């Protein structure tokens, strides 16, 4: 498994490109997490004595790659979290699915999570414990019986994009939990958090970061897909 790449770092924010297969935070596997890797990187980069603070703002499923952001201060973490909760942030994912779901649209669902099975189901509206999920999607290209999709979660529900793709009749490559025909070679899911745009916690204007696609041969580039990591923020450079 490869290591994360640092996309952006300043006094309040650390943004990484997490590789597929790495947990976002420590879990029962005891494998190195992106959170622990980030803490060690900050400690080395800035010669920090003692324990390094990184606040968890959001997470990516272990088999998913892409932009993962932490707060380097409690203020940074709280404000980034608030922006996500209040839907003042924009996330863009890329996914490769089996089949062709069509040109695009917006999917509205009610999801219920079975925490024991770590699986999410679509249920009727009003079901106790369920949460509304809205996903905007657009087909970018079709090749060899597979489609490259741009996916925008308008809500932040567990497994939301994975369930959305499966509900369209086109599960994400490698996503055996939601209907994929076969695993991918590296046991990843063909889902990548490509871009994040969020208000910076202390500076005017937004922070925008992009993570280039992983190297898996099932990915391909179109004009809409970032070919390299990128970051921009109004104000001073990091």
pLDDT in tens, the chain (238 residues): 689 999 999 999 999 999 999 999 999 999 999 999 999 999 999 998 888 999 999 999 999 999 999 999 999 999 999 999 999 999 999 999 999 999 999 999 999 999 999 999 999 998 999 999 999 999 999 999 999 999 999 999 999 999 999 999 999 999 999 999 999 999 999 999 999 999 999 999 999 999 999 999 999 988 888 889 999 886 554 4
Catalytic residue list contains 27? no
| Token pair listed for 181 | 């025909």
Distance CA 180, CA 203 (A): 43
The neighbouring-strand residues paired with 137 are 105, 151
Residue 136 bridge partners (DSSP): 106, 152
Q: Give the domain CATH number at 111.
A: 3.30.2350.10
Catalytic residue (choose from 27, 31, 36, 61): 61
pTM recorded for the entire structure: 0.95
The answer to whether residue 58 sits within a structural domain is: yes
Domain count, the chain: 1
User: Are the CB atoms for 147 and 172 separated by under 8 Å?
Assistant: no
Residue 238 domain-assigned (yes or no) = no
Q: Is residue 68 part of a domain?
A: yes
The residue segments making up the domain with residue 125 are: 5-233
Specify if 125 maps to a domain: yes
Does 89 map to a domain? yes
């Amino acid at each position: 498994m490869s290591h994360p790449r640092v996309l952006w770092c300043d006094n309040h924010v650390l943004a990484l490109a997490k590789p597929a297969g790495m947990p976002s935070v420590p879990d029962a596997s005891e494998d190195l997490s992106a959170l622990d890797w980030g803490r060690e990187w900050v400690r080395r980069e800035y010669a920090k004595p003692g324990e390094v603070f990184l606040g968890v703002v959001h997470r990516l499923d272990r088999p998913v790659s892409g932009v993962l952001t932490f707060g380097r201060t409690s203020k940074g973490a709280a404000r980034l979290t608030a922006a996500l909760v209040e839907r003042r942030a924009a996330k863009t994912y890329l996914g490769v699915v089996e089949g062709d779901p069509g040109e695009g649209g917006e999917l509205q669902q009610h999801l219920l999570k079975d925490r024991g099975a770590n699986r999410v189901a679509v249920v009727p509206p009003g079901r106790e414990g369920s949460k509304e999920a809205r996903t905007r999607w657009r087909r970018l290209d079709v090749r060899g019986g597979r489609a490259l999709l741009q996916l925008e979660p308008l809500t932040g529900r567990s497994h939301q994009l994975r369930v959305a793709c499966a509900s369209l009749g086109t599960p994400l490559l490698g996503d055996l939990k939601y209907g994929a025909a076969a695993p991918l070679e590296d046991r990843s899911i063909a889902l990548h958090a490509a871009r994040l745009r969020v208000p910076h916690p202390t500076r005017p204007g937004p922070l925008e970061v992009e993570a280039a696609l992983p190297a898996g041969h099932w990915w391909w580039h179109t004009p809409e897909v970032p070919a390299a990591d990128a970051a921009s923020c109004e104000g001073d450079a990091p």
